[in-house]
Chain A
C-alpha cells in the first residue's frame, strides 16, 4: 500500500490559483466522496487552507493514482488541467510521509512555526473521518503526523517567539506590563494593522479597548466590534492616562502625542508605565516620548527588527525539527511495510509454529514412558492441525490482496495475534478539535 500526496501551496502557486482549487469546508463531503470513488484510490483526506490545497490518499498504483488525483483537482473545479498542472507537486513513499510531517510541524508554512496549520489539518482529518473517506492507513498516518508535530513543538523552540508585528507587540507588552488581564488598550486611528494588533491584545487577555478617531462614527463602529468604548478625538488627552497600551496609526501629517502629554498622563496614573506603539508613517508619537520615565515607545521598525531576529532563530530551530522528522519517518515506514500480505502470512505461520513447538516440547518432556515413534506422530499431528487452521485465513488474505481493503484484514490479524506491531503511543493523541 502506498501513500501519495498531490497538492499546491504558497510555494508553487499564487493566491489566484490557490483560491480556484480550494475546497470549501462546508461542502467537503462531496469532493471526499468523489475522491475515494476514483479508480485505484482507497483512502483520501483533503486539506484546504488559504496557503495550501493538498490531497493525501492511499493507492496500489502510484503513477495512476497521482494522475487521477491531478485530473480530479482540475475537473472538480472546472479548470483546464494544463492551467494547474505546472503548480502541482506530488510525492509518494517516504517523500510523501516527510512532506506531511513537515507540513503538520509547520516547517513548510509561509511563516515557519506558525501554529494554525496543525489545527487546520486536524479539522480536515476530522471531516475525512466523519465522512469515512479515511481508513486505517491514513488514520494512523495523520495521528502520527500530529504526534510528530507535537514533538517538534515541545522539543524545539520553533514556535516560541513572535514572528508577526502584532504578536511581537503583545510579547513586548507582557515584558513591560506583566499580566495583561487588567490592562486597557487605546487605539488611535483605525488602520488595519492597529485593528489586528488590538485583536491580538484582546486574545491575550487584555481587559478592554478604547477607540478614538477623527471621524467619531468610525471610532464607534470599531468600539462596537471590540466591545469597547469610543472616545472623541478632541478629548484624547483626558483619557490617555487610562490606557496601559497605546496603539497609534492615524494618517496625521505631524505628531499627535508629545513628551509633555505622555509625562502628564503618566503622572496622572501615579507613574504606572505606558507602552506606546507607533504604527503610523509619518509618526504619530514624538520619538522624545521614549525619554519620558515609565513611557516605552516602540515604532513599527523596532517591532519589525524583533520579528526578523525571531525568524532567524526559527530557521535554526527548524534544523532540529528536521532531525526529529527523520527519526519518525523510519518508524512509520516500518509500520506501513508490515501491512503487506506476504510478510503477514509468514509472520502468522511463524507465530503458530512457535506456539505448536512450545506446547509439543512441554508434552514430550513431561511424558515418562514415551513410545518410540510417538514423538514423530505428535509432530505430524500438530503440523497437520496447524496447516488446516491456517488454510482458510491464508486463502482469504491472498484473495483480499487482489482487491482493495486488504490492509484492514492485515492490521486486524496483526493485532489479534500480536504480530510485532508498531508501538501505539500515538493512539492516545486524540483529535483535540
Chain B
C-alpha cells in the first residue's frame, strides 16, 4: 500500500517536473495550471503515503536516511505550493520541484520493514526536533532556489540580455520578499530545532552539547543564517551577497544532511 502511494508520488512528481521545466520554454496558462494540479495531486499522494507509513510503523518516518529524504522532499513541495499560491511564482517550480523529485528518487528504498526503534530515538524531543529541523530546511531550500533565480535575473539585468526567460522570472522585488519570508520563518524553526535537539541529546547521552560533528555543523548552519538575517535587519543586506550566502547555507545543509545523519542514529 505504502509502496503503491510511493510509486504514484514519484510518477506525479516526474510529470510535474516535466511540466514546470516546459513552463520555462513555453508560455501557456493551461500548462501552468496543469503543472500546479499534478503537483498538488502528487503532494497529496506523498502526504498519504507518509501518514500510512507512520501508522504502520507507529512512529514518524524520520529515523533513517531514506525516510528523512522523503520527508524533506515533502516539506519542500508543501512550502513551494504555499509560495506559488501566494506570489504566483510558477518559475520557482522549475528550480525547486526537480530537486524534490531527485530527493524522492534517492529515497526509493522507503518501503522498509517495520523494525524495533533504538531506545535512543524513543523520545518526544527527538520527533519534535526532527520535524522542526525539516521544516526549517524546506524554508532554506526554497530560499536557495529563489536565490539562484535572483542571480540569474540580476545577470540578465546587468548584461541587458532581456530574453524570454527574463520575462518569465519574477521581479527582483518579489524574489527578495520570498527569500526574506523563508528566512524569517526558517530561522526561528531552526533555533527551536537545535534547542530541542540538545535537550534530546541530554536525555539520550546525558549531555546537552557533545560537540559531535552533527551538532557542530548544525551550529555552523545556524550562524550562517543568523548572519544573513542580522545583515538583512541591520544594514539591509539584499541582492547578490544575500543570494550567494543563502545558496552557501543550503549547500552546507545538504552536506551535513547527507554525510552526518548516521553519526548519532547508527
Contacts and interface: CB of A to CB of B under 8 A. Distances in A.
Interface of A: 157, 172, 174-179, 269-273, 290, 293-294, 296, 298, 302, 305-306, 309
Contacts of B236: 269-272
Given A157-B27, A270-B235, 5 more contacts: A177-B172, A178-B171, A178-B173, A294-B239, A296-B158
Contacts of B162: 172, 306, 309
Contacts of B172: 175-178, 273
Interface string B154-184: 0001101010001000011110010000000
A296 B157 contact: yes
A305 B162 CA distance: 10
B30 to A, nearest CB: 13
B213 interface: no
For the residues of B in contact with A, the DSSP-based class is helix
B214 interface: no
12 contacts: A176-B172, A176-B173, A178-B172, A178-B177, A270-B235, A270-B236, A271-B235, A271-B238, A272-B238, A273-B172, A294-B239, A309-B162
Interface in B215-262: 235-241
A273 B174 contact: no
Interface residues of B, number: 19
Contacts of A178: 171-174, 177
Contact of B160 (A174, A269, A271, A305): A305
Max chain A C-beta neighbours (<10 A), residue from B162, B239, B241: B162
A298 B157 CA distance: 9
A246 to B, nearest CB: 15
Given A175-B166, A175-B171, A175-B172, A294 B160 contact: no
Contacts of B173: 176-179, 273
Nearest to A175: B171
Interface centre among A175, A273, A293, A298 (most CB of B within 10 A): A175
Contacts of A306: 162
Contacts of B239: 271, 273, 293-294
B160 A302 contact: yes
Interface in B190-213: none
B106 to A, nearest CB: 36
A270 B157 CA distance: 20
Interface in B125-153: 153
Given A176-B171, A179-B173, A302-B160, A271 B237 contact: yes
| 6 closest residue pairs by CB, A with B | A270-B236, A178-B173, A271-B236, A178-B171, A294-B239, A271-B238
